[in-house]
């Protein structure tokens, strides 16, 4: 036990000495707000709401892109979607709350228009009108778009995205699935 404590003490001492010799720099942050349209391509649910609106906000840290390299951001998104019932059948309005992690790679550096690609691993909660409770799902999203530089503190963006969502449930061998696509527009603040 003494050897482990001594090793941990030495490790933290070396870390503190290293930090004092090299001051830490803050990673640049970015805030994004987006809204747009989404369309359900396919769904295993009987309550087939087929299209809706979506809003999302995220907080991102720049992970790479220093010293004249292309930027990479890691963000924490929080989003909400409202899916409208399809007229003429038994469909119901649906709501989706989602949160997780997104990684976004900018494909150019210091241009007026910068293309980007991104992918996200998220969790979501799906609920339908007039049905008690909600179901929890695993959400994978792929996106591509362009950032349009406004000034040094903000940029506008347009993107298209594809999402695949799996809803497992206890006691069932098969999971339920939803596939949807969306087109979004928004603003980023540096």
Examine residue 111 and state whether it is found in any structural domain, yes or no. yes
pLDDT tens digit sequence for 145-182: 999 987 888 999 999 999 999 988 778 888 888 899 99
Examine residue 16 and state whether it is found in any structural domain, yes or no. no
pLDDT at 40 over 70: yes
Examine residue 138 and state whether it is found in any structural domain, yes or no. yes
- Residue 165: CATH number of its domain: 2.40.160.20
pLDDT at 67 over 90: no
Vertex 37, ends 31 and 41: CA angle to 5°?
120
Examine residue 140 and state whether it is found in any structural domain, yes or no. yes
Examine residue 114 and state whether it is found in any structural domain, yes or no. yes
Examine residue 14 and state whether it is found in any structural domain, yes or no. no
The contacts found for 146-149 with CB under 8 angstroms, 24 or more apart, are 146/113, 146/114, 146/115, 146/116, 147/106, 147/113, 147/114, 147/115, 147/116, 147/188, 148/112, 148/113, 149/111, 149/112, 149/113, 149/114
What is the reported pLDDT for 44? 82
Examine residue 2 and state whether it is found in any structural domain, yes or no. no
Examine residue 18 and state whether it is found in any structural domain, yes or no. no
Write out the residue range of the structural domain in which residue 31 sits: 25-189
Q: How many domains does the chain have?
A: 1
Contacts of 170 (CB under 8 A, 6+ apart): none
**Once rounded to an integer, what is the mean pLDDT over residues 27-46?**
89
Q: How far is CA 163 from CA 40, 71, 112, 123, 147, in A?
A: 9, 24, 28, 12, 21
**Once rounded to an integer, what is the mean pLDDT over residues 125-154?**
88
């Amino acid at each position: 036990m003494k050897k482990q404590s001594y090793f941990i003490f030495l490790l933290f001492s070396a870390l503190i000495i290293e930090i004092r010799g090299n001051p830490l720099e803050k990673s640049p942050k970015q805030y994004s707000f987006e809204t747009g349209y989404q369309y359900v391509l396919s769904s295993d649910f009987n309550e087939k709401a087929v299209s809706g609106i979506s809003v999302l906000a995220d907080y991102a840290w720049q992970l790479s892109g220093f010293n004249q390299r292309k930027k990479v951001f890691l963000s924490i998104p929080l989003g909400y979607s409202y899916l409208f019932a399809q007229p003429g059948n038994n469909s119901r309005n649906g709501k989706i709350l989602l949160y997780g992690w997104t990684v976004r790679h900018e494909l150019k550096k210091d241009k007026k228009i910068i293309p980007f690609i991104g992918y996200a691993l998220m969790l979501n909660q799906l609920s339908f009108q007039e049905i008690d409770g909600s179901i929890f799902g695993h959400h994978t999203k792929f996106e591509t778009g362009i950032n349009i530089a406004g000034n040094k503190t903000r940029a506008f963006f347009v993107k298209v995205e594809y999402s695949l969502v799996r809803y497992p449930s206890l006691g069932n061998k098969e999971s339920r699935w939803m596939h949807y696509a969306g087109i979004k527009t928004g603003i980023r603040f540096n």
